[in-house]
């Protein structure tokens, strides 16, 4: 695992310890809308849904966009046709803020994915209390026992678990643990290198019952046209939208590319 990833996970352990000490809200905040159906939103037949991400920085790129009100961004995403929104809530490494999640939940009607480094059940319960509809679980950073417990907990709470994998070993772990939505990360967490062929190579190994999302390294309509031939249901895109001077136009470009017909679609 890349040294930066080890640094992130060490810091997450400290965050979890602090979270346990201060405790959680007693339940979902009473003034928040109910949980939304993330799974249905991202898997509409005949199209590739766009999960548009709010991400101000990353360890591999640095600052992507200067801070602005994330509610403005999520409204742009919704109006441009995104299927769902992903909010990076890690502050130290990605410039995110968990406190933005309840505000976003009230600002739009789309399902919201909390994207962070979830390593403990208290973070899942925290996600629920802040208004998340789905959470990211990274197979590479979790043991098989941890992953299975967190997937089960998500389902018990009504949250949708999106299980991220990068290779066949991650995929086997995810499927064995009951993952139904598989996110294929085109970024190698060992090297931080990105290659869209990670999705193309792994899709044939994913059980047909699973929904597949391609993550990382997707910048334009050509990338989506390439990926749609594999039979994925959605893409998660952050950097290319966040760094664009025309965020609405870029989002529409990706949405329209996912809605185009005429290309082979679906896994044989």
The residues that are catalytic are 53, 55, 115, 164, 185, 215-216
Distances (CA, A) of 112 to 6, 34, 244: 27, 12, 21
- Start-to-end Cα distance in the chain: 34
Instruction: Please give the Cα distance from 228 to 41 (Å, whole number).
Output: 17
Query: In whole angstroms, what separates CA 129 from the centre of its chain?
Result: 18
The rounded radius of gyration (Å) of the Cα atoms in the chain is 17
Measured in degrees and rounded to the nearest 5, phi and psi for residue 162 equal -105, 115
Q: With beta carbons less than 8 A apart as the criterion, state whether 172 and 147 touch.
A: no
């Amino acid at each position: 695992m890349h040294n930066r990833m080890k640094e992130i996970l060490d810091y997450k352990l400290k965050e979890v310890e602090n979270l346990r000490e201060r405790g959680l809200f007693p339940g979902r905040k009473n003034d928040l809308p109910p949980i939304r159906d993330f799974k249905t939103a991202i898997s509409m037949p005949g199209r590739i849904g766009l999960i548009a991400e709010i991400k101000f920085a990353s360890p591999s790129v640095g600052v992507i966009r200067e801070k602005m009100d994330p509610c403005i961004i999520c409204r742009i995403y919704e109006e441009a046709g995104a299927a769902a929104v992903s909010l990076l809530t890690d502050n130290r490494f990605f410039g995110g803020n968990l406190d933005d999640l309840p505000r976003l939940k009230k600002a739009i009607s789309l399902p919201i994915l909390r994207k962070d480094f979830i390593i403990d059940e208290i973070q899942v319960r925290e996600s629920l209390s802040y208004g998340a509809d789905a959470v990211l679980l990274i197979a590479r950073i979790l043991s098989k026992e941890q992953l299975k417990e967190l997937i089960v907990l998500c389902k018990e709470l009504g949250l949708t678990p999106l299980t991220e994998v990068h290779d066949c070993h991650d995929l086997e772990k995810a499927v064995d643990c009951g993952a139904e939505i598989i996110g294929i990360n085109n970024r190698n967490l060992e090297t931080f290198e990105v290659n869209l062929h990670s999705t193309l190579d792994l899709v044939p190994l994913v059980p047909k019952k699973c929904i597949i999302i391609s993550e990382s390294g997707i910048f334009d309509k050509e990338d989506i046209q390439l990926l749609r031939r594999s039979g994925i249901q959605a893409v998660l895109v952050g950097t290319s939208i966040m760094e664009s001077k025309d965020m609405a136009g870029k989002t529409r470009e990706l949405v329209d590319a996912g809605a185009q017909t005429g290309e082979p679609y679906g896994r044989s």
